[in-house]
């Protein structure tokens, strides 16, 4: 009997089974079982209640795994889950093995359909705190001064399958569920403020066009293919979104560094019943930053989970990402326009210079989900999850979304009871009179789930304005029944021109390359030519540059050029200074490095709010400092800046035995080619490089001039301060144009 069995009589082996054959010796547990962690408070929905409000008695955590012993799904303890029940050790498996069949059957059904779009996503929990400034225009309780509301955010790519890479060129979803005291409010947003289409009836068409080709299922998570460009060049309303998608916005550096946009105009209502038309924004405190194109491709290979990992690394490091929630508030005019912009057209923005974004609260993400499937996969969002004070408008895209999001869950989450899943449950009492259906979790009491009734005491009651009922604003509706949009939706180009002209030169260069790369992947010349025609109507210089790259003639515009379009500087990502919280710094060390210096630099990086990654020839420790990455596992694309703490001469306190086996980087031998590659790539991608000691041989080998912009050297403490300065501008833009 093993010591484990002695301590735990429940694990003592049984007597050998009767009949021939020798029983296998009992296998010890690899680890001693402990009680599973309870769900976090934020995961627990309110206890289920009966229609009359009485609790059912089932605590929310009852749904989680409990107890020390392995059991069947019915709770019977099991003595062996490693061997199926067989007619002798060499005989067939018996049909009567109910545990085997239950285990395999459940496994066979573990996968659910992935989302038809936004399949690949990453979630995080957090909290939203309102500053109260929205209360003037909106009566939603969660926007009241100082009110704290738990949130769950799911970031996503749109086109790729669930297992696709994070860093592809694509729009990103930015969906937030606010668990408010008045019910769940979902802000189902994107990181691009305009949408592909104006009427939701075309959504299946744009998605079919963007998804891989039906015959080959190529390409994965890309818009660089014929069907996509076929659609968007024919549906010119898509040109606004396409321009954003070819820009740096579609290759974000991090989820933490993306803006979010509600896109549609919503109607907000205050306590006095007054209404405003509102566009909703998320503004990241971390700045708005992107990768460069070469980095996205390298990252897709080096770390397909890059954005997911980046978010979780930041949360684990305590570098909690945060965003301001901002509103553009416009009068609720009868024609629903502002400064000539149709507020119901989801392909149009309202420039911030015309209507500033006013901050009404801040969201901080604080922790990752406990279980990916239960939370990130099972969460469902719906633009129709609204709270009193926020109502929809007649935007034809929004109106169709109001149908689509519930409908899709019926297949994806297997029935109508998805609101009972822990991640989807409201954090306020729910008494909806919905009954039965697949996967019903609640044990409802009462006999009268209808209204009015006399048998359940007339419960539940209907609310009114005083008791916080949802407000459907009685907007006027009139008109003939037609399949058409208003004429104001016909301008498909002027706002694209506005976007292109608002970009800095380096962003315009990236934009032109984005178009040239993607169109260069199209086989059909007629499609490339048709898209060039669209570009001719947007911006002559951009069109000429893309045409040159494709080797095609520059078409004449078919509409008069718009000289009158005023740029909107707020649309550019370049030029602003940003805090450096959470930026990632590689501290490159080798056997010459002083452990004391390395620890000092590491601490200085942390003190500046950044995340250090000590990167060394091999794993383990340098003195007391733990190595985070080795030269083998580190990739330049992981970092925003590098600090080289290597030198030709060993520091007085260098650890001579450190990495004794990694020949090239041991004292006295040539610089490590992996470090040279790292530095050369970071230089090409216009990242800051600091040399804390005499790193001249590394810089020389990487082809980096010591006096190049953004290459700094000096004492460790001063260096970190210089890096903070450089990173505040994100990249060393003077080093562009570059090949990246």
Instruction: Return residues touching ligand HDD (CB under 6 A).
Output: 115-118, 121, 154, 156, 173, 175, 188-190, 195, 200, 203, 263-264, 346, 380-381, 397, 400-401, 404-405, 408
154 is in an annotated binding site: yes
Q: What is the nearest approach in angstroms of ligand HDD to the Cβ of residue 156?
A: 5
Q: What is the nearest approach in angstroms of ligand HDD to the Cβ of residue 195?
A: 4
For residues 420 and 615, which CB has a smaller minimum distance to ligand HDD in the complex? 420
Half-sphere exposure of 102 (CA within 13 A, CB side): 12
Q: Burial level of 153, CB count in 10 A (0-12/13-18/19+)?
A: buried
169 is in an annotated binding site: no
Q: What is the nearest approach in angstroms of ligand HDD to the Cβ of residue 25?
A: 49
Using alpha carbons only, what angle is made at residue 164 by residues 161 and 170, rounded to the nearest 5 degrees? 85
Residues in the chain: 740
Q: What is the nearest approach in angstroms of ligand HDD to the Cβ of residue 424?
A: 11
For residues 264 and 385, which CB has a smaller minimum distance to ligand HDD in the complex? 264
115 is in an annotated binding site: yes
Q: CA 343, CA 330: separation in Å to the nearest integer?
A: 9
Q: What is the nearest approach in angstroms of ligand HDD to the Cβ of residue 314?
A: 20
Return the active site residues.
118, 190
For residues 118 and 687, which CB has a smaller minimum distance to ligand HDD in the complex? 118
To the nearest 10 degrees (0 to 180), the angle between helices 716-728 and 595-607 is 30
Minimal CB distance residue for ligand HDD: 173
Largest CA distance in the chain: 94
Quickly list DSSP for 598-666. Answer: HHHHHHHHHHTT-EEEEEESSSSEETTEEP-EETTT--GGG-SEEEE---SS--TT--TTTTTT-GGGS
For residues 140 and 175, which CB has a smaller minimum distance to ligand HDD in the complex? 175
528 is in an annotated binding site: no
Half-sphere exposure of 274 (CA within 13 A, CB side): 9
Q: What is the nearest approach in angstroms of ligand HDD to the Cβ of residue 104?
A: 29
Q: What is the nearest approach in angstroms of ligand HDD to the Cβ of residue 703?
A: 42
Place of tokens 């923005």: 349
548 is in an annotated binding site: no
DSSP state for residue 293 in the 8-state scheme: H
Q: CA 593, CA 648: separation in Å to the nearest integer?
A: 10
Q: Which residues contact 712 (CB under 8 A, 6 or more apart)?
A: 688, 689, 690, 691, 719, 722, 723, 726
Cβ atoms of 156 and 175 within 8 Å: the answer is yes
Q: CA 633, CA 245: separation in Å to the nearest integer?
A: 31
Three-state secondary-structure class, residue 153: strand
For residues 153 and 498, which CB has a smaller minimum distance to ligand HDD in the complex? 153
Q: Burial level of 617, CB count in 10 A (0-12/13-18/19+)?
A: buried
Quickly list DSSP for 261-272. Answer: E--S-EEEE-TT
For residues 424 and 647, which CB has a smaller minimum distance to ligand HDD in the complex? 424
For residues 177 and 629, which CB has a smaller minimum distance to ligand HDD in the complex? 177
Q: Which segments are annotated as binding site? A: 115, 154, 203, 401, 405, 412
Residues at the binding site for heme are: 115, 154, 203, 401, 405, 412
């Amino acid at each position: 009997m093993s010591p484990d069995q002695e301590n735990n009589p429940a694990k003592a082996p049984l007597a050998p089974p009767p009949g021939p054959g020798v029983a296998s010796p009992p296998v010890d547990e690899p680890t001693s079982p402990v009680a599973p962690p309870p769900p976090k408070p934020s995961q627990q929905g309110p206890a289920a209640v009966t229609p009359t409000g009485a609790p059912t008695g089932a605590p929310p955590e009852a749904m989680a795994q409990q107890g020390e012993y392995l059991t069947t799904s019915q709770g019977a303890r099991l003595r062996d889950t490693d061997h199926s029940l067989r007619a002798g050790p060499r005989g067939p498996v018996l049909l009567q093995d109910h545990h085997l069949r239950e285990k395999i059957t459940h496994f066979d059904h573990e996968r659910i359909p992935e989302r038809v779009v936004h399949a690949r996503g990453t979630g995080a929990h957090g909290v939203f705190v309102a500053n109260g400034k929205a209360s003037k225009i909106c009566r939603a309780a969660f926007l009241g001064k100082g009110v704290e509301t738990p949130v769950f955010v799911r970031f996503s790519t749109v086109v790729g399958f669930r297992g696709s890479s994070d860093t592809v060129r694509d729009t990103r979803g930015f969906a937030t569920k606010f668990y408010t005291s008045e019910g769940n409010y979902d802000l189902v947003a994107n990181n691009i403020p305009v949408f592909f289409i104006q009427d939701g009836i075309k959504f299946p068409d744009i998605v079919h066009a963007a998804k891989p080709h039906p015959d080959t299922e190529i390409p994965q998570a890309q818009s660089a293919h014929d069907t996509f460009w076929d659609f968007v060049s024919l549906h010119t309303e898509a040109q606004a979104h396409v321009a954003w998608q070819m820009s740096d916005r579609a290759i974000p550096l991090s989820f933490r560094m993306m803006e979010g946009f509600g896109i549609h105009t919503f109607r907000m209502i205050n306590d006095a019943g007054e209404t405003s038309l509102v566009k909703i924004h998320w503004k990241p405190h971390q700045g708005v930053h992107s990768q460069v194109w070469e980095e996205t491709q390298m990252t897709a290979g080096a770390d397909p989970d890059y954005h997911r990992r980046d978010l979780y690394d930041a949360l684990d490091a305590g570098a909690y990402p945060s965003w301001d929630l901002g509103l553009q508030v416009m009068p609720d005019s009868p024609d629903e326009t502002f400064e000539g912009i149709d507020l119901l057209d989801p392909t149009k923005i309202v420039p911030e210079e015309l209507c500033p974004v006013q901050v009404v609260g801040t969201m901080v993400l604080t922790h990752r989900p406990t279980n990916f499937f239960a939370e990130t996969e099972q969460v469902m969002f719906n633009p129709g999850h609204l709270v009193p004070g926020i109502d929809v408008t007649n935007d034809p895209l929004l109106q169709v979304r109001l149908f689509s999001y519930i409908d899709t869950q019926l297949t994806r989450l297997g029935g109508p009871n998805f609101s009972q899943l822990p991640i989807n449950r409201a954090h306020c009492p729910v008494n909806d009179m919905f009954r039965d259906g697949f996967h019903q979790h609640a044990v409802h009491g009462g006999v009268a789930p209808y209204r009015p009734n006399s048998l359940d005491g007339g419960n539940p009651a209907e609310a009114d304005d005083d008791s916080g009922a949802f407000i459907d604003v009685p907007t006027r509706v009139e008109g003939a029944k037609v399949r058409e949009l208003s004429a104001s939706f016909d301008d498909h180009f002027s706002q694209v021109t506005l976007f292109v002209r608002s970009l800095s030169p380096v962003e315009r260069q990236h934009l032109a390359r984005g178009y040239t790369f993607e169109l260069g992947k199209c086989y059909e010349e007629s499609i490339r030519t048709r898209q060039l025609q669209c570009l001719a109507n947007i911006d002559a210089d951009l069109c000429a540059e893309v045409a040159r790259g494709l080797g095609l003639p520059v078409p004449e515009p078919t509409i008069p050029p718009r000289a009158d379009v005023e740029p909107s500087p707020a649309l550019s990502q370049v030029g602003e200074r940003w805090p450096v919280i959470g930026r990632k710094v590689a501290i490159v060390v080798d056997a010459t490095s002083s452990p004391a210096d390395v620890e000092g630099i590491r601490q200085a990086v942390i003190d500046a709010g950044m995340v250090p990654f000590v990167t060394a020839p091999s794993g383990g420790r340098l003195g007391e400092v733990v190595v985070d990455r080795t030269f083998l596992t580190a990739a330049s694309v992981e970092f925003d800046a590098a600090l080289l703490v290597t030198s030709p001469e060993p520091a007085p306190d260098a650890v001579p035995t450190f990495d004794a086996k990694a020949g090239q980087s041991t004292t006295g031998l040539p610089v490590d080619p992996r470090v040279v590659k790292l530095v050369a790539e970071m230089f090409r991608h216009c990242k800051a490089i600091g040399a804390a000691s005499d790193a001249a041989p590394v810089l020389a080998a990487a082809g980096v001039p010591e006096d190049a912009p953004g290459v700094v050297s000096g004492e460790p403490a001063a260096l970190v301060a210089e890096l903070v300065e450089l990173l505040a501008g994100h990249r060393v833009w003077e080093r562009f144009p570059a090949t990246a």
